[in-house]
């Protein structure tokens, strides 16, 4: 229990957890990592997000690790897949880090960004995804 009277429970679970007073959290039939919080104020609502993270920075770092390009290698088009919330721009770089193009700037919409490498010769490129929070993620893209 923290200083505000909140009960915080975390760990690995399988099945359901019964907190008493009719509060039951149902999990999957497989083991999953999760954190639960019961608040002493019943009017306070908090979305439940299962995750192994312990803070906001770790949450974003875990999401950024999951970003990948598919298909890769490609004959032309590849899609940036993963958690792309809050990205500002996507740049195409050569292996020396020189910018060849800004592929997307101030994107809008909910679709995953697609990159067309067909105008470029076969080789290895770097795709740099810049986020609004000031971090960048770099992935290799291979053009056949």
**Tens of pLDDT along 40-65?**
555 555 555 555 546 777 777 777 88
Contact between 112 and 127 (Cβ < 8 Å): no
Per-residue confidence (pLDDT) for residue 143, from 0 to 100:
97
Grade residue 39 by pLDDT with cuts at 50, 70 and 90. very low
Four-residue CA torsion sign, 133, 134, 139, 144: positive
Whether 78 shows a pLDDT value over 80: the answer reads yes
Per-residue confidence (pLDDT) for residue 52, from 0 to 100:
56
Domains of the chain, start order: 7-50 (no CATH), 57-143 (2.60.40.3080)
Give the H/E segment covering residue 139: strand 136-143
Per-residue confidence (pLDDT) for residue 95, from 0 to 100:
96
Classified as helix, coil or strand, 29 is coil
DSSP tag of 141: E
Whether 20 shows a pLDDT value over 70: the answer reads no
């Amino acid at each position: 229990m923290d200083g505000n009277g909140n009960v915080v429970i975390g760990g690995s679970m399988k099945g359901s957890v019964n907190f008493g007073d009719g509060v039951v959290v149902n999990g999957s039939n497989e083991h999953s990592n999760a954190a639960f919080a019961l608040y002493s104020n019943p009017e306070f609502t908090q979305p439940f997000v299962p995750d192994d993270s312990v803070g906001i920075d770790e949450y974003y770092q875990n999401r950024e690790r999951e970003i990948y390009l598919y298909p890769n290698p490609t004959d032309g088009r590849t899609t940036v897949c993963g958690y792309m919330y809050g990205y500002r721009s996507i740049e195409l770089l050569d292996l020396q880090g020189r910018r060849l193009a800004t592929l997307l700037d101030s994107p809008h919409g909910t679709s995953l960004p697609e990159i067309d490498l067909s105008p470029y010769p076969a080789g290895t490129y770097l795709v740099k995804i810049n986020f609004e929070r000031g971090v960048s993620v770099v992935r290799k893209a291979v053009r056949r």
